[in-house]
Amino acid sequence: MSTQNVNEKPSTKESTTLRTDGFVRNIHSRNPFDVIRADVVLERIEKKAGRSCGMHYELYQAHLLGGALDYLDALPLKDRPVLMGAAAKRGYLLTLAE
């Protein structure tokens, strides 16, 4: 007869520590533990903004910031600083302040 270590409490609780590895939660995934690199998220948002704006920088900027802020708003609090830091490296500031 073999024995197994079985947790009585399943580990479905999300941690509250801030991420420092450059990854954020993938909000488009069904699994709440799937992650994606923050710079890849921003790259995808930039490509989508580029396709929808033509050659007008103001429209590109509005689509880019709107998409990035929407993604930021959907993230858990512990992942937000990572996305903000990746955006700052790309040259734009993401804040939820009005």
Q: pLDDT tens for the chain, 98 residues: list them.
A: 555 555 555 555 556 676 667 899 999 999 989 999 999 999 999 999 999 887 888 999 999 999 999 999 999 999 999 999 999 999 989 886 75
Provide the pLDDT for residue 53: 82
Provide the pLDDT for residue 24: 94
Tell me the pTM: 0.76
Q: What are the beta bridge partners of residue 25?
A: 35
Provide the pLDDT for residue 12: 56
Two structure tokens written together for 32 = 């709440």
